[in-house]
Amino acid sequence: IRLNSNISWEIGTCPEWITVTPMSGSGSQDVTIKVADNPNVSPRNATITATQAGLNLTSELSITQSGKSFEYGESVIECSDKQQEIKVTVTTTGTWTAQSNDSWISVYPSSMSGSSELTLSIDENGEDDSRTGTVTLTIGDQSYTISIIQAGKYFTIDYGETSFGSTGAKLSIDVSTNDSWTAKVENNISWITLSQTSGSGNASFIATIADNPSVNKRTAVIVLTTAHNKSVRIPITQAARYMTVDRMN
C-alpha cells in the first residue's frame, strides 16, 4: 500500500499474523503488508494504525481475513451390526485431523491437508444393545463430532404347538436374526430330523417328528444357537401308542 506523508511516521503494534515492512519511515513510501495463513474456520480482523510523531494525526487500515472452509456431511451416521467401512467426504481448504474416541472405530487417514475421503472402520457388534461412538474432526481451533450409532444383535424364534400325537408330524420353525446360527437336536435323538441345521440371517425350516411306535411317551429338545452365543430351546413332547379294551358282557 502507499502511505502518503510529509513527515516521519511509524506503525503501531500488529497482531502476530500480520507483518508490516517497514514499521517506520519518513515521507511518502510504499509499505508491504504480509498476512499469514489462517488455519481456523472463523475469519479474523485487525486494524493497522500509522501515527505521525508529535502530531495528533493517525491513519487506519482495517484487514479482514477469511477462515478455512470445512464440510464433512452428516453428523450422525446409523449402521448395521456387521463389520464395515464407512466413507466420509471431507471438503476443506485447510489442514485437519481425525480421531476415534472408541476402540471399535478406527479412522484413516488421521490427518490430511485439503479435501479427502475419510474411512471409518467399524467392528462387528456382538451385543444385544446398540452402541454409539464418536469421531472428532479438528481444523485449527474448531472441532466437530460425528456420532456412529451401530445396531445390536437380535434373535427371535417363532414356532407352533410342540406337543404331538404318536403319529408322525412336522413343526415349522421361523428364525429372525442378523447373526449366523446353527440348529441341532439335543443328545442326537434320531426321531427328529431338521431340514436346515445352519444359516445366516432370517430363515424358515421344518422339524420332522417320526412316528412313535412305543407305548412310552418321549421328549426331546431342539436347540438353536447364534455365533454370538444366544440360544433358544424348543421342547418337543410326543405321545405314546395306546390301546384300550372294553369288556363285553
How much is the pTM? 0.77
Given this model, what pLDDT does residue 249 score?
A: 66
236 close to 164: Cβ distance less than 8 angstroms: yes
Q: How many CB atoms lie within 10 A of CB 182?
A: 14
One-letter amino acid for residue 230 of the chain: K
pLDDT at 58: 87
- Give the pLDDT of residue 97: 97
- How far apart are alpha carbons 126 and 177 in whole angstroms? 12
CB-based contacts of 35, cutoff 8 Å, min separation 6: 17, 18, 63, 65
Q: Which of 16-20, 141-145, 195-199, 242-246 has the lowest mean pLDDT?
A: 242-246
| pLDDT at residue number 219 | 97
- DSSP element (H, E) containing 223: strand 218-226
- pLDDT for residue 80: 96
- DSSP letter assigned to residue 229: S
pLDDT band at 52 (very low <50, low <70, confident <90, very high): confident
153 CB-contact burial (10 Å; exposed 0-12 / middle 13-18 / buried 19+): buried
